[in-house]
Amino acid sequence: MNILIVDDSAAIRKILQRVLGQAKVPISQVYEAGDGFEALEMLKAHDIGLVLSDINMPNMDGLQLLSQVRAAEQWKNVPFIMITTEGSQAKVMEAVQLGASGYVRKPFTPDQIKEKLAGLV
């Protein structure tokens, strides 16, 4: 399975790459994007099986990305996990209503990410 990490922070992308390397899920390739626009290009170019995305990003944020992903026939069932500092109930509800498969608040432990992956993959 190919996984796409979407976060404007290179530090978080590096941490998530490391966590994915430790997770007990079959991973073919991990791709990275710095915002929603780059993520859409990655989704078009590769067969992505899971998206891990931040919310607050420049150009196109994670909620806008999620909305576009769910509106596209070919991606509407791709698991999409939000990983964000946005912790208000309103943001969580917005993400769930748009079709998020999971929601992890930063700061996170590797085990929290692995548990979410295990539940979806």
Partner 1 sequence: MSALNHDDLVSLVRGATENVFETMLGQSIVSENAYMDSVASTSSNGVVSFIGLAGVWQGTGSIACSAACACRLASQLLMGEYSAVDDEVLDAVAEVTNMILGNVKTALEERLGPMGLSIPTVIYGRNFSSRTVGKQEWTVVPFDCDGERLEVQLCLAEQRDPLKARVPLAGGAAAVQL
> Cβ contacts of residue 6 below 8 Å, gap of 6+?
32, 33, 34, 35, 36, 38, 39, 51, 52, 53, 54, 57, 62, 65
Among 22-30, 40-48, 63-71, 86-94, the segment contacting partner 1 (CB under 8 A): 86-94
- CB nearer to partner 1: pick between 55 and 81: 55
Q: Are strands 80-84 and 102-105 parallel, antiparallel or unpaired?
A: parallel
Q: Is 12 in the site for partner 1 (CB under 8 A)?
A: yes
Please report, as residue ranges, which positions from 18 to 37 form the binding site for partner 1 (by CB under 8 A). Answer: 18
Least separation in angstroms between residue 38's CB and partner 1 is: 15
**Contact assessment for residue 39 and residue 6, using Cβ atoms and an 8 Å cutoff:** yes
The residues binding partner 1 (CB under 8 A) are 8-12, 14-15, 18, 56, 58, 84-88, 90, 106-109
